[in-house]
Amino acid sequence: MPRASSTLRPFTGRVHHGYCLSSWLGEDADMTEFIGSLLEARAEEKFDLHEQHLNGQLVRVLRTIGFDRHYKRGAGAYLYDDAGQQYLDLLSGFGTFALGRNHPKVNAALREVLDSELPNLAQLDVSVLAGLLAEALTKTWPGDSRVKAFFANSGTEAVEGGLKLARYATGRDKVVCLKGGYHGLTLGSLSVTSDEMFQKGFGQLLPGITMVQMNDLSALEEALRGKDVAAFIIEPIQGKGVHIPEDNYLAEAARLCSRYGTVFIADEVQTGLGRTGKMWAMEHWGVEPDMLLTAKALSGGHAPVGAIMAKAPIMDAVFDRMDRAVVHGSTFGKNDMAMAAGLATLRVLEEEKLIENAANVGEQIMAEMRPFIDKYEFMKDVRGKGLMIAVEFGPPKSLKLKASWKMLEAANKSLFSQMILIPLFERHRILAQVAGAGMHVIKLLPPLVVNESDKDWIVKAFDEVVADTHKVPGSIWSLGASLAKHAVAPSKKPRQSFAAE
Ligand code: PMP
Protein backbone atom coordinates (compact mmCIF):
# COMPACT_ATOMS: atom_id res chain seq x y z
CA MET A 1 0.00 0.00 0.00
CA PRO A 2 1.48 3.39 -0.89
CA ARG A 3 1.85 5.59 2.12
CA ALA A 4 1.64 9.35 2.07
CA SER A 5 4.55 9.69 4.44
CA SER A 6 6.45 12.56 2.91
CA THR A 7 5.23 15.09 5.44
CA LEU A 8 5.68 12.85 8.46
CA ARG A 9 8.64 14.13 10.35
CA PRO A 10 9.76 14.05 13.94
CA PHE A 11 8.29 16.84 15.98
CA THR A 12 10.99 19.25 17.06
CA GLY A 13 9.12 22.33 18.13
CA ARG A 14 6.99 23.15 21.10
CA VAL A 15 3.23 22.92 21.10
CA HIS A 16 1.26 25.78 22.61
CA HIS A 17 -2.45 26.10 22.82
CA GLY A 18 -3.84 26.84 19.41
CA TYR A 19 -0.91 25.34 17.53
CA CYS A 20 -1.73 22.85 14.86
CA LEU A 21 -0.39 19.36 15.54
CA SER A 22 -1.05 18.01 12.08
CA SER A 23 2.35 18.94 10.69
CA TRP A 24 3.96 16.14 12.56
CA LEU A 25 0.92 13.90 12.60
CA GLY A 26 0.90 13.76 8.82
CA GLU A 27 -1.15 16.62 7.38
CA ASP A 28 -1.22 15.17 3.86
CA ALA A 29 -1.71 11.55 4.82
CA ASP A 30 -4.95 10.04 3.67
CA MET A 31 -6.91 9.36 6.88
CA THR A 32 -7.64 5.82 5.72
CA GLU A 33 -3.92 5.22 6.05
CA PHE A 34 -3.28 7.58 8.94
CA ILE A 35 -1.96 5.05 11.41
CA GLY A 36 -0.15 3.00 8.77
CA SER A 37 1.64 6.10 7.56
CA LEU A 38 2.66 7.09 11.05
CA LEU A 39 3.97 3.63 11.78
CA GLU A 40 5.84 3.45 8.53
CA ALA A 41 7.47 6.80 9.03
CA ARG A 42 8.24 6.67 12.73
CA ALA A 43 8.21 3.08 14.05
CA GLU A 44 12.00 3.06 14.35
CA GLU A 45 11.79 5.87 16.90
CA LYS A 46 9.69 3.94 19.40
CA PHE A 47 12.36 3.57 22.10
CA ASP A 48 13.45 7.20 21.77
CA LEU A 49 9.84 8.37 21.94
CA HIS A 50 9.36 6.44 25.15
CA GLU A 51 12.59 7.70 26.64
CA GLN A 52 11.63 11.28 25.91
CA HIS A 53 7.91 11.33 26.57
CA LEU A 54 7.06 8.37 28.80
CA ASN A 55 8.71 6.39 31.56
CA GLY A 56 12.11 5.72 30.03
CA GLN A 57 13.19 3.21 32.66
CA LEU A 58 11.40 0.38 30.86
CA VAL A 59 13.42 1.18 27.75
CA ARG A 60 16.61 0.88 29.83
CA VAL A 61 15.49 -2.51 31.10
CA LEU A 62 14.63 -3.74 27.60
CA ARG A 63 17.96 -2.58 26.22
CA THR A 64 19.89 -4.13 29.11
CA ILE A 65 18.33 -7.58 28.69
CA GLY A 66 18.24 -7.45 24.89
CA PHE A 67 14.46 -7.44 24.60
CA ASP A 68 14.46 -4.22 22.56
CA ARG A 69 12.96 -5.65 19.39
CA HIS A 70 10.81 -4.06 16.73
CA TYR A 71 7.72 -6.26 16.54
CA LYS A 72 5.67 -5.67 13.44
CA ARG A 73 2.77 -8.05 13.80
CA GLY A 74 0.98 -10.36 16.18
CA ALA A 75 -1.09 -13.38 15.18
CA GLY A 76 -2.28 -16.23 17.38
CA ALA A 77 0.46 -17.30 19.78
CA TYR A 78 3.17 -15.50 17.83
CA LEU A 79 4.83 -12.13 17.43
CA TYR A 80 6.84 -11.24 14.31
CA ASP A 81 9.67 -8.73 14.24
CA ASP A 82 10.87 -6.46 11.44
CA ALA A 83 13.25 -9.17 10.22
CA GLY A 84 10.33 -11.57 9.91
CA GLN A 85 11.45 -13.68 12.89
CA GLN A 86 8.70 -15.54 14.71
CA TYR A 87 8.49 -15.45 18.53
CA LEU A 88 6.38 -17.68 20.74
CA ASP A 89 4.58 -15.36 23.14
CA LEU A 90 4.32 -16.98 26.58
CA LEU A 91 3.42 -13.67 28.19
CA SER A 92 0.30 -13.10 26.13
CA GLY A 93 0.14 -9.47 27.20
CA PHE A 94 0.15 -10.54 30.89
CA GLY A 95 -2.68 -12.92 30.13
CA THR A 96 -4.93 -10.74 27.99
CA PHE A 97 -4.43 -12.60 24.70
CA ALA A 98 -5.96 -15.87 25.82
CA LEU A 99 -7.45 -16.32 22.34
CA GLY A 100 -4.15 -15.45 20.70
CA ARG A 101 -3.45 -12.11 19.09
CA ASN A 102 -5.85 -10.69 16.55
CA HIS A 103 -8.36 -13.48 16.68
CA PRO A 104 -10.35 -13.03 13.46
CA LYS A 105 -13.72 -13.48 15.16
CA VAL A 106 -13.01 -10.87 17.82
CA ASN A 107 -11.61 -8.50 15.21
CA ALA A 108 -14.70 -9.03 13.07
CA ALA A 109 -17.00 -8.26 16.01
CA LEU A 110 -15.10 -5.05 16.68
CA ARG A 111 -15.19 -3.97 13.04
CA GLU A 112 -18.92 -4.64 13.03
CA VAL A 113 -19.39 -2.37 16.05
CA LEU A 114 -17.45 0.45 14.38
CA ASP A 115 -19.27 0.04 11.10
CA SER A 116 -22.69 -0.07 12.76
CA GLU A 117 -22.50 3.41 14.27
CA LEU A 118 -24.08 2.11 17.46
CA PRO A 119 -25.37 4.61 20.03
CA ASN A 120 -22.43 3.83 22.30
CA LEU A 121 -22.30 5.23 25.86
CA ALA A 122 -25.49 7.24 25.62
CA GLN A 123 -25.21 7.06 29.45
CA LEU A 124 -28.81 8.08 30.16
CA ASP A 125 -29.77 4.81 28.52
CA VAL A 126 -28.85 1.15 28.92
CA SER A 127 -26.80 -0.84 26.43
CA VAL A 128 -28.02 -4.01 24.71
CA LEU A 129 -24.51 -5.42 24.38
CA ALA A 130 -23.76 -4.89 28.08
CA GLY A 131 -27.00 -6.66 28.96
CA LEU A 132 -26.12 -9.59 26.72
CA LEU A 133 -22.58 -9.88 28.05
CA ALA A 134 -23.85 -9.76 31.63
CA GLU A 135 -26.37 -12.49 30.76
CA ALA A 136 -23.67 -14.68 29.18
CA LEU A 137 -21.06 -14.06 31.86
CA THR A 138 -23.36 -14.73 34.79
CA LYS A 139 -24.32 -18.07 33.20
CA THR A 140 -20.70 -19.16 33.77
CA TRP A 141 -20.88 -18.40 37.53
CA PRO A 142 -19.27 -21.30 39.44
CA GLY A 143 -22.23 -22.04 41.72
CA ASP A 144 -26.02 -21.97 42.05
CA SER A 145 -26.60 -18.48 43.43
CA ARG A 146 -28.25 -15.74 41.45
CA VAL A 147 -25.61 -13.20 40.51
CA LYS A 148 -25.42 -9.83 38.79
CA ALA A 149 -22.60 -8.18 36.86
CA PHE A 150 -20.89 -4.81 36.93
CA PHE A 151 -18.49 -3.67 34.19
CA ALA A 152 -15.30 -1.68 34.66
CA ASN A 153 -12.21 -1.00 32.55
CA SER A 154 -9.39 -3.01 34.08
CA GLY A 155 -8.46 -5.57 36.67
CA THR A 156 -7.57 -3.04 39.30
CA GLU A 157 -10.85 -1.24 38.75
CA ALA A 158 -12.73 -4.50 39.25
CA VAL A 159 -10.85 -4.94 42.54
CA GLU A 160 -11.61 -1.38 43.65
CA GLY A 161 -15.27 -1.89 42.82
CA GLY A 162 -15.35 -5.27 44.52
CA LEU A 163 -13.95 -3.85 47.75
CA LYS A 164 -16.39 -0.93 47.68
CA LEU A 165 -19.42 -3.14 47.04
CA ALA A 166 -18.38 -5.51 49.85
CA ARG A 167 -17.88 -2.62 52.26
CA TYR A 168 -21.26 -1.14 51.48
CA ALA A 169 -23.15 -4.42 51.55
CA THR A 170 -21.67 -5.44 54.92
CA GLY A 171 -21.46 -2.00 56.51
CA ARG A 172 -17.88 -2.90 57.54
CA ASP A 173 -14.61 -1.56 56.22
CA LYS A 174 -11.82 -4.00 57.07
CA VAL A 175 -10.33 -6.29 54.43
CA VAL A 176 -8.28 -9.47 54.77
CA CYS A 177 -5.97 -10.61 51.99
CA LEU A 178 -3.10 -13.03 51.45
CA LYS A 179 0.63 -12.59 51.71
CA GLY A 180 2.10 -12.96 48.25
CA GLY A 181 -1.11 -11.71 46.62
CA TYR A 182 -1.36 -9.28 43.71
CA HIS A 183 -4.51 -7.33 42.97
CA GLY A 184 -3.40 -4.21 41.11
CA LEU A 185 -1.66 -0.89 41.60
CA THR A 186 -4.29 1.79 42.26
CA LEU A 187 -4.51 2.84 45.90
CA GLY A 188 -7.22 0.42 47.04
CA SER A 189 -5.97 -2.61 45.16
CA LEU A 190 -2.38 -1.73 46.06
CA SER A 191 -3.40 -1.87 49.72
CA VAL A 192 -4.21 -5.58 49.30
CA THR A 193 -1.18 -6.30 47.10
CA SER A 194 1.51 -7.70 49.34
CA ASP A 195 4.65 -6.45 47.72
CA GLU A 196 6.72 -3.82 49.42
CA MET A 197 8.39 -2.82 46.17
CA PHE A 198 5.01 -1.69 44.79
CA GLN A 199 3.79 -0.09 48.03
CA LYS A 200 6.88 1.66 49.32
CA GLY A 201 6.98 5.43 49.05
CA PHE A 202 3.38 5.91 47.92
CA GLY A 203 2.17 7.03 51.33
CA GLN A 204 -0.64 5.78 53.50
CA LEU A 205 -2.77 3.06 51.96
CA LEU A 206 -6.22 1.83 53.03
CA PRO A 207 -6.51 1.33 56.77
CA GLY A 208 -7.88 -1.91 58.22
CA ILE A 209 -6.00 -4.36 55.98
CA THR A 210 -4.78 -7.67 57.44
CA MET A 211 -2.56 -9.99 55.43
CA VAL A 212 -2.57 -13.65 56.36
CA GLN A 213 -0.53 -16.58 55.09
CA MET A 214 -2.17 -18.76 52.46
CA ASN A 215 -3.24 -22.14 53.92
CA ASP A 216 -3.24 -20.82 57.50
CA LEU A 217 -6.91 -21.22 58.42
CA SER A 218 -6.38 -20.34 62.08
CA ALA A 219 -4.88 -16.98 61.12
CA LEU A 220 -7.83 -16.36 58.81
CA GLU A 221 -10.35 -17.24 61.52
CA GLU A 222 -8.52 -15.00 63.96
CA ALA A 223 -8.78 -12.13 61.48
CA LEU A 224 -12.48 -12.69 60.75
CA ARG A 225 -13.71 -13.54 64.25
CA GLY A 226 -14.48 -9.94 65.23
CA LYS A 227 -17.24 -9.88 62.57
CA ASP A 228 -15.92 -6.55 61.36
CA VAL A 229 -14.31 -7.66 58.09
CA ALA A 230 -16.07 -6.67 54.87
CA ALA A 231 -14.10 -8.85 52.45
CA PHE A 232 -11.56 -11.61 52.19
CA ILE A 233 -9.91 -11.28 48.78
CA ILE A 234 -7.74 -13.99 47.21
CA GLU A 235 -6.44 -15.21 43.88
CA PRO A 236 -7.37 -18.91 43.63
CA ILE A 237 -3.85 -19.43 42.28
CA GLN A 238 -1.42 -16.62 43.09
CA GLY A 239 -0.01 -14.99 39.98
CA LYS A 240 3.28 -14.02 41.62
CA GLY A 241 5.09 -17.33 41.75
CA VAL A 242 2.06 -19.44 40.75
CA HIS A 243 1.27 -20.65 44.27
CA ILE A 244 -1.58 -23.14 44.51
CA PRO A 245 -3.49 -23.46 47.79
CA GLU A 246 -3.81 -26.74 49.67
CA ASP A 247 -6.83 -28.73 48.63
CA ASN A 248 -9.18 -27.83 51.49
CA TYR A 249 -8.07 -24.21 51.89
CA LEU A 250 -10.51 -22.35 49.67
CA ALA A 251 -13.52 -24.42 50.77
CA GLU A 252 -12.68 -23.87 54.46
CA ALA A 253 -11.99 -20.19 53.85
CA ALA A 254 -15.40 -19.83 52.18
CA ARG A 255 -17.00 -21.55 55.19
CA LEU A 256 -15.26 -19.14 57.59
CA CYS A 257 -16.33 -16.13 55.51
CA SER A 258 -19.91 -17.32 55.57
CA ARG A 259 -19.79 -17.93 59.33
CA TYR A 260 -18.45 -14.43 60.09
CA GLY A 261 -20.47 -12.54 57.46
CA THR A 262 -17.46 -11.61 55.29
CA VAL A 263 -17.74 -11.36 51.49
CA PHE A 264 -15.45 -13.95 49.88
CA ILE A 265 -13.95 -12.35 46.74
CA ALA A 266 -12.20 -14.53 44.16
CA ASP A 267 -9.93 -12.34 42.05
CA GLU A 268 -9.83 -14.31 38.80
CA VAL A 269 -8.38 -11.46 36.76
CA GLN A 270 -5.48 -13.71 35.78
CA THR A 271 -6.80 -17.23 36.47
CA GLY A 272 -10.21 -16.76 34.86
CA LEU A 273 -11.72 -17.47 31.46
CA GLY A 274 -10.07 -20.84 30.90
CA ARG A 275 -6.48 -19.98 31.80
CA THR A 276 -6.18 -22.83 34.33
CA GLY A 277 -8.08 -25.43 32.29
CA LYS A 278 -11.48 -24.59 33.82
CA MET A 279 -13.63 -21.56 33.07
CA TRP A 280 -12.93 -20.28 36.61
CA ALA A 281 -10.08 -21.58 38.76
CA MET A 282 -12.49 -21.84 41.74
CA GLU A 283 -14.04 -24.80 39.90
CA HIS A 284 -10.91 -26.88 40.58
CA TRP A 285 -12.02 -27.00 44.21
CA GLY A 286 -15.79 -26.74 43.66
CA VAL A 287 -15.96 -23.56 45.75
CA GLU A 288 -18.51 -20.82 45.14
CA PRO A 289 -17.31 -17.33 46.12
CA ASP A 290 -19.64 -14.42 46.96
CA MET A 291 -17.99 -12.26 44.31
CA LEU A 292 -15.75 -12.99 41.34
CA LEU A 293 -13.58 -10.50 39.47
CA THR A 294 -12.40 -10.83 35.89
CA ALA A 295 -10.67 -8.59 33.30
CA LYS A 296 -7.66 -9.15 31.00
CA ALA A 297 -8.75 -11.93 28.60
CA LEU A 298 -12.43 -10.91 28.59
CA SER A 299 -12.02 -8.56 25.64
CA GLY A 300 -9.69 -10.75 23.60
CA GLY A 301 -6.97 -8.23 24.36
CA HIS A 302 -8.32 -5.33 22.35
CA ALA A 303 -10.40 -3.13 24.59
CA PRO A 304 -9.70 -2.47 28.26
CA VAL A 305 -12.32 -4.26 30.33
CA GLY A 306 -13.04 -5.49 33.82
CA ALA A 307 -16.05 -7.16 35.39
CA ILE A 308 -17.45 -7.96 38.79
CA MET A 309 -19.93 -10.74 39.32
CA ALA A 310 -21.54 -10.71 42.75
CA LYS A 311 -24.36 -12.53 44.45
CA ALA A 312 -27.51 -10.54 43.76
CA PRO A 313 -28.11 -9.41 47.39
CA ILE A 314 -24.68 -7.68 47.42
CA MET A 315 -25.39 -5.78 44.22
CA ASP A 316 -28.97 -5.00 45.28
CA ALA A 317 -27.77 -3.67 48.64
CA VAL A 318 -25.58 -1.10 46.90
CA PHE A 319 -27.98 -0.08 44.14
CA ASP A 320 -31.04 -0.04 46.37
CA ARG A 321 -32.84 3.16 45.48
CA MET A 322 -33.29 5.32 42.40
CA ASP A 323 -31.19 8.11 43.87
CA ARG A 324 -28.35 5.63 44.27
CA ALA A 325 -28.52 4.29 40.69
CA VAL A 326 -25.08 5.70 39.84
CA VAL A 327 -23.46 5.38 43.24
CA HIS A 328 -20.68 3.31 41.72
CA GLY A 329 -19.74 3.47 38.05
CA SER A 330 -17.26 4.52 35.44
CA THR A 331 -17.73 6.48 32.21
CA PHE A 332 -16.24 3.87 29.88
CA GLY A 333 -17.59 0.81 31.71
CA LYS A 334 -20.06 -1.08 29.44
CA ASN A 335 -18.64 0.55 26.29
CA ASP A 336 -19.69 -1.21 23.10
CA MET A 337 -16.18 -2.20 21.97
CA ALA A 338 -15.40 -4.02 25.21
CA MET A 339 -18.84 -5.58 25.42
CA ALA A 340 -18.80 -6.85 21.82
CA ALA A 341 -15.28 -8.18 22.25
CA GLY A 342 -16.40 -9.89 25.45
CA LEU A 343 -19.31 -11.60 23.72
CA ALA A 344 -17.07 -12.75 20.87
CA THR A 345 -14.46 -13.97 23.36
CA LEU A 346 -16.94 -16.12 25.28
CA ARG A 347 -18.18 -17.59 22.01
CA VAL A 348 -14.67 -18.39 20.74
CA LEU A 349 -13.63 -19.95 24.05
CA GLU A 350 -16.51 -22.39 23.70
CA GLU A 351 -16.50 -22.96 19.93
CA GLU A 352 -12.77 -23.62 19.75
CA LYS A 353 -12.73 -25.66 22.96
CA LEU A 354 -9.89 -23.51 24.24
CA ILE A 355 -10.47 -24.36 27.89
CA GLU A 356 -10.02 -28.06 27.13
CA ASN A 357 -6.96 -27.20 25.05
CA ALA A 358 -5.49 -25.23 27.97
CA ALA A 359 -5.99 -28.21 30.28
CA ASN A 360 -4.47 -30.71 27.82
CA VAL A 361 -1.51 -28.77 26.46
CA GLY A 362 -0.72 -27.36 29.92
CA GLU A 363 -0.64 -30.84 31.41
CA GLN A 364 1.60 -32.07 28.58
CA ILE A 365 4.05 -29.19 29.00
CA MET A 366 4.32 -29.88 32.72
CA ALA A 367 4.59 -33.66 32.25
CA GLU A 368 7.43 -33.25 29.75
CA MET A 369 9.28 -30.68 31.86
CA ARG A 370 9.05 -32.46 35.24
CA PRO A 371 11.84 -34.95 34.35
CA PHE A 372 14.17 -31.92 34.13
CA ILE A 373 13.98 -31.72 37.94
CA ASP A 374 16.06 -34.94 38.16
CA LYS A 375 18.12 -34.10 35.11
CA TYR A 376 19.27 -30.60 36.08
CA GLU A 377 20.57 -29.51 39.48
CA PHE A 378 19.07 -26.01 39.39
CA MET A 379 15.56 -27.14 38.42
CA LYS A 380 13.38 -27.55 41.50
CA ASP A 381 9.74 -27.56 40.49
CA VAL A 382 7.32 -27.40 37.59
CA ARG A 383 3.82 -26.60 38.81
CA GLY A 384 0.60 -25.00 37.74
CA LYS A 385 -2.81 -25.68 36.33
CA GLY A 386 -3.71 -25.50 32.67
CA LEU A 387 -1.64 -22.83 31.00
CA MET A 388 -0.56 -21.01 34.15
CA ILE A 389 2.77 -22.64 34.78
CA ALA A 390 5.74 -21.94 37.06
CA VAL A 391 9.23 -23.28 36.47
CA GLU A 392 11.13 -22.87 39.72
CA PHE A 393 14.88 -22.92 40.20
CA GLY A 394 16.97 -23.31 43.35
CA PRO A 395 20.45 -23.96 44.70
CA PRO A 396 22.43 -26.85 43.18
CA LYS A 397 23.94 -29.76 45.08
CA SER A 398 27.40 -30.01 43.56
CA LEU A 399 30.19 -27.81 44.84
CA LYS A 400 31.20 -27.00 41.28
CA LEU A 401 27.92 -25.19 40.61
CA LYS A 402 27.34 -23.74 44.07
CA ALA A 403 29.88 -20.95 43.72
CA SER A 404 28.26 -19.68 40.52
CA TRP A 405 24.80 -19.77 42.12
CA LYS A 406 26.06 -17.83 45.14
CA MET A 407 27.66 -15.19 42.95
CA LEU A 408 24.29 -14.43 41.33
CA GLU A 409 22.33 -14.65 44.58
CA ALA A 410 24.64 -12.15 46.21
CA ALA A 411 23.93 -9.64 43.44
CA ASN A 412 20.16 -10.07 43.13
CA LYS A 413 17.74 -12.92 43.76
CA SER A 414 15.96 -12.61 40.41
CA LEU A 415 19.14 -12.89 38.36
CA PHE A 416 19.21 -16.66 37.96
CA SER A 417 15.75 -16.64 36.34
CA GLN A 418 16.80 -13.64 34.26
CA MET A 419 19.86 -15.57 33.11
CA ILE A 420 17.55 -18.35 31.85
CA LEU A 421 15.04 -15.94 30.35
CA ILE A 422 17.53 -14.13 28.12
CA PRO A 423 18.78 -17.15 26.12
CA LEU A 424 15.20 -18.46 25.97
CA PHE A 425 14.44 -15.25 24.15
CA GLU A 426 17.64 -14.71 22.16
CA ARG A 427 18.28 -18.26 21.04
CA HIS A 428 14.81 -19.78 21.07
CA ARG A 429 12.62 -16.71 20.52
CA ILE A 430 10.43 -17.47 23.51
CA LEU A 431 8.98 -14.49 25.35
CA ALA A 432 8.33 -15.20 29.04
CA GLN A 433 8.68 -13.43 32.37
CA VAL A 434 10.24 -13.72 35.81
CA ALA A 435 7.30 -14.33 38.14
CA GLY A 436 7.99 -11.64 40.72
CA ALA A 437 10.92 -9.76 42.20
CA GLY A 438 13.22 -11.88 44.30
CA MET A 439 11.83 -15.17 43.02
CA HIS A 440 13.54 -18.00 41.22
CA VAL A 441 10.49 -18.58 39.08
CA ILE A 442 9.80 -18.20 35.38
CA LYS A 443 6.10 -18.00 34.64
CA LEU A 444 4.51 -19.24 31.45
CA LEU A 445 1.16 -17.74 30.44
CA PRO A 446 0.74 -18.89 26.84
CA PRO A 447 -2.33 -18.03 24.82
CA LEU A 448 -4.87 -20.85 25.19
CA VAL A 449 -4.50 -21.61 21.47
CA VAL A 450 -1.00 -23.14 21.77
CA ASN A 451 -0.65 -26.52 20.11
CA GLU A 452 1.59 -29.62 20.18
CA SER A 453 4.35 -28.04 18.15
CA ASP A 454 4.38 -24.97 20.44
CA LYS A 455 4.64 -27.38 23.37
CA ASP A 456 7.66 -29.05 21.73
CA TRP A 457 9.19 -25.62 21.08
CA ILE A 458 8.85 -24.74 24.81
CA VAL A 459 10.14 -28.06 26.16
CA LYS A 460 13.15 -28.19 23.81
CA ALA A 461 14.09 -24.59 24.58
CA PHE A 462 14.04 -25.14 28.36
CA ASP A 463 15.93 -28.42 27.96
CA GLU A 464 18.73 -26.74 26.04
CA VAL A 465 18.97 -23.57 28.12
CA VAL A 466 18.85 -25.29 31.52
CA ALA A 467 21.39 -27.88 30.29
CA ASP A 468 23.79 -25.00 29.71
CA THR A 469 23.69 -24.07 33.39
CA HIS A 470 25.77 -27.20 34.07
CA LYS A 471 28.58 -25.84 31.90
CA VAL A 472 30.93 -23.75 34.06
CA PRO A 473 32.61 -21.83 32.60
CA GLY A 474 30.20 -21.35 29.74
CA SER A 475 28.31 -18.71 27.85
CA ILE A 476 25.32 -18.71 30.17
CA TRP A 477 27.51 -18.03 33.24
CA SER A 478 29.32 -15.28 31.39
CA LEU A 479 25.92 -13.75 30.87
CA GLY A 480 25.20 -14.29 34.59
CA ALA A 481 28.41 -12.50 35.54
CA SER A 482 27.56 -9.58 33.31
CA LEU A 483 24.03 -9.40 34.76
CA ALA A 484 25.49 -9.43 38.26
CA LYS A 485 27.78 -6.56 37.32
CA HIS A 486 24.86 -4.54 35.99
CA ALA A 487 22.55 -5.41 38.90
CA VAL A 488 21.19 -2.15 40.22
CA ALA A 489 22.42 -1.41 43.72
CA PRO A 490 19.81 0.25 45.95
CA SER A 491 20.04 3.97 45.49
CA LYS A 492 21.71 5.82 48.32
CA LYS A 493 20.45 9.12 46.94
CA PRO A 494 17.59 10.77 48.83
CA ARG A 495 14.43 10.65 46.75
CA GLN A 496 14.18 13.58 44.40
CA SER A 497 11.53 15.91 45.65
CA PHE A 498 8.99 17.51 43.36
CA ALA A 499 7.81 19.94 45.99
CA ALA A 500 9.34 23.40 46.01
CA GLU A 501 11.75 24.02 48.86
N1 PMP B 1 -5.71 -8.94 39.94
C2 PMP B 1 -4.91 -9.89 39.46
C3 PMP B 1 -5.00 -11.27 40.01
C4 PMP B 1 -3.99 -9.62 38.44
O5 PMP B 1 -3.20 -10.57 37.97
C6 PMP B 1 -3.94 -8.30 37.92
C7 PMP B 1 -2.99 -7.93 36.79
N8 PMP B 1 -1.85 -8.65 36.71
C9 PMP B 1 -4.79 -7.34 38.46
C10 PMP B 1 -5.68 -7.68 39.46
C11 PMP B 1 -4.76 -5.92 37.96
O12 PMP B 1 -5.24 -5.87 36.67
P13 PMP B 1 -4.93 -4.59 35.73
O14 PMP B 1 -3.48 -4.65 35.42
O15 PMP B 1 -5.83 -4.79 34.55
O16 PMP B 1 -5.29 -3.39 36.51
Q: Over the stretch 301-359, which tens digit does the pLDDT of each residue have?
A: 989 999 999 999 999 999 999 999 999 999 999 999 999 999 999 999 999 999 999 99
Q: What local confidence, expressed as pLDDT, does residue 24 receive? A: 61
Asked whether residue 492 carries a pLDDT value surpassing 90, the answer given is no
The yes-or-no verdict on residue 18 having pLDDT over 60 is: no
> Full-prediction pTM beyond 0.85?
yes
**pLDDT per residue as tens digits for the range 199-231:** 999 999 999 999 999 999 999 999 999 999 999
pLDDT, the chain, mean: 93
Protein residues with CB under 6 Å of any ligand 1 atom = 94, 154-156, 159, 182-184, 235, 239, 267, 269-270, 295
Residue 292 · residue 263 · CB < 8 Å = no
Q: Is the pLDDT of residue 176 over 80?
A: yes
Candidates 92, 97, 269, 292: which one to mutate for ligand 1, based on the most atoms within 8 Å of Cβ?
269
Cα distances from 267 to residues 42, 158, 163, 254, 334, in angstroms, run 39, 9, 11, 14, 20
Mean pLDDT (whole number) for 237-255 = 97
- Across the range 260-280, mean pLDDT stands at 98
Residue 493: the pLDDT is 59
pLDDT at 303: 94
* Closest protein CA for atom 5 of ligand 1: 270
Long-range contacts of 110-115 (CB under 8 A, 24+ apart): 110/302, 110/303, 110/337, 110/340, 110/341, 110/344, 112/340, 113/336, 113/337, 113/340
Which of 28-37, 139-148, 218-227, 393-402 bottoms out in mean pLDDT, i.e. has the lowest? 28-37
pLDDT of residue 438: 80
d(CA 285, ligand 1 centre) in Å: 22
Instruction: With a cut of 50, say whether residue 4 has pLDDT above it.
Output: no
| pLDDT classification of 487: cutoffs 50, 70, 90 | confident
The pLDDT, as a whole number, for residue 5 is 45
**Predicted pLDDT at 486:** 80
Q: What is the DSSP string of 79-136?
A: EEETT--EEEESSHHHHT-TT-BT-HHHHHHHHHHHHHT--TT-SSS--HHHHHHHHH
How far CA 455 is from CA of 239, 270, 354, 367, in Å, comes to 21, 21, 15, 11
Question: Which residue out of 91, 183, 191 has the highest number of ligand 1 atoms within 8 Å of its CB and is therefore the one to mutate?
Answer: 183
